[in-house]
Structure 1
Amino acid sequence: MKKLLFDFFPLVLFFIALKVGDIYLATWVAMGASILQIVWLKATKKKIEVSTWLSLIIIVVFGGATVYLQDEAFIKWKPSVLYWLFGAILLGGKIFFKKNLIQQLMGNQLQMPETAWNKMNTSWALFFIIVGIINVYVAFSGHFTTEQWGTFKVFGMTLLLIVFAVAQSLWLSKYMQIDNNQQDKSS
């Protein structure tokens, strides 16, 4: 639970700063919080995950462009670019390197047949791509204010992630139950 809160630290601070200030203050706060996360992890000699580094790089690049050019479009692109990057990494790892990155990440905690790992990898990649598209719509369709986009970014995208993870878990438990039944019949 601590790790989850730690990972959401910049996002929560971004939301608070957006509510009390504006998108530029929120962007500064998110960049600062992301840098502080890395400093804290380094100082405490904890492992820094690749996703944390990618997030830092993207927030500094897109946040820096937002602040420097005084154009909120850059920070609004940041979640989509990050999610599309995650999706591309998952798909690219499987297609070009024959590596299932989800399986490599979670393989020690979960035993599943190869087909289930492949479906899980593909579904997460597609989830990231679709959520990136939804973010672009909310950010740039003209139907939502910047504050509404910020609320969606913090709560809507997080809710989508939770709902997808729960659905994925339910699917996996069903799949594993079928697999266990097949193994029982073959014994």
Structure 2
Amino acid sequence: MKLLLDFLPVLLFFVTYKIAHGDPAQAAALATQSLGFLTAGGVFTPEQAPIVLATGVVIIATLIQVLVLMALRRRVEPMVWVSLVLVVVMGGATIWFHSDAFIKWKPTLLYWGMGLALLGGRFIWKKNLVQTVMGASMRLPESAWTKLLLSWVGFFAAMGVLNLIVAAQFSTDAWVNFKLFGSLGLTLAFVVGQGLFLARHIQPGSDA
């Protein structure tokens, strides 16, 4: 269920954008009617409406995600809170200024924020946060934990840069596709690579 809750906001963003992109005139009317009060001009054009509607939906979906976790008395992970703040701030700016640039920056800020958190844990608090999360279920040499941490830092840094490249060099439609399929595919490939790395270094006595 947690995986579904984590994935749902991105999926709803994608679906909303695609539906609105298929009928931009109707999307503009709906966006103006439902979100016009949140913007200075009060009116959205057919070109602006798909990303505006998708942004409004992802803000609501992320809020619901947090509320459901709280209602179920589940722990809301720190990065979920960070994601909520970013999507409200950057998404709100997208709606207010009629500009998709803000929501396109959100994934990059989240990726870089996660990478900086890992680095901060290692060099400021002297903790390997990857080991903190995974250490209870497996035993690895200290050098392997360090490599694992640095690989995640590198992955988050690269994904942040890649998101900006796609956002700047391709259409909004292409960026929306990348946000769902590209990011998910690259993350799955990275996790598989991490699994192969762990298989080589895991020590006897691990629960994994």
1:175 equivalenced with 2:201 (yes/no): yes
CA distance in 2, matches of 1:89, 1:42: 23
Q: Which amino acid aligns with 1:167?
A: G
CA distance in 2, matches of 1:93, 1:39: 28
* Among candidates 123, 144, 149, match of residue 95 of structure 1: 123
Q: Deviations over 1:113-164 (max 9, x none)?
A: 11111110110011000011000000012xx110110010111001111000
Name the structure 1 match of 2:51: 23
SS in 2 for 1:162: helix
SS in 2 for 1:19: helix
Q: Which amino acid aligns with 1:156?
A: G
Structure 1 residue runs without a partner (length 5+): 181-187
Name the structure 1 match of 2:4: 5
* Among candidates 162, 169, 172, match of residue 188 of structure 2: 162
Q: Which runs of 4+ in 1 moved over 2 A?
A: none
SS in 1 for 2:93: helix
Q: Which amino acid aligns with 1:7?
A: D
C-alpha deviation, 1:175, in angstroms:
2.3
Q: Which amino acid aligns with 1:133?
A: V
* Among candidates 76, 85, 88, match of residue 104 of structure 2: 76
Name the structure 1 match of 2:156: 128
* Among candidates 138, 162, 170, match of residue 166 of structure 2: 138
Corresponding residue pairs, total: 175
C-alpha deviation, 1:165, in angstroms:
0.5
Q: Deviations over 1:164-186 (max 9, x none)?
A: 0000110111123xx66xxxxxx
Name the structure 1 match of 2:176: 150
SS in 2 for 1:97: coil
* Mean CA deviation greater in 34-43 or 10-19: 34-43
CA distance in 2, matches of 1:32, 1:145: 25
Contact 2:16 2:53 in 1 (8 A): yes
Name the structure 2 match of 1:183: none
Higher helix share: 1
Q: Which amino acid aligns with 1:71?
A: S
CA distance in 2, matches of 1:43, 1:3: 13
Aligned-residue CA RMSD (Å) = 1.1
SS in 2 for 1:47: coil
Once the two structures are superposed, the pairs formed by residues 38-117 of structure 1 within 5 Å of their partners are: 38-117=66-145
CA distance in 2, matches of 1:40, 1:172: 33
Structure 2 residue runs without a partner (length 5+): 21-49
Name the structure 2 match of 1:185: none
Identical counterparts, % of pairs: 44
CA distance in 2, matches of 1:6, 1:34: 9
Q: Deviations over 1:86-109 (max 9, x none)?
A: 011111211122110111111111
How high is the TM-score relative to the length of structure 1? 0.90
CA distance in 1, matches of 2:183, 2:119: 21
Name the structure 2 match of 1:184: none
How high is the TM-score relative to the length of structure 2? 0.82
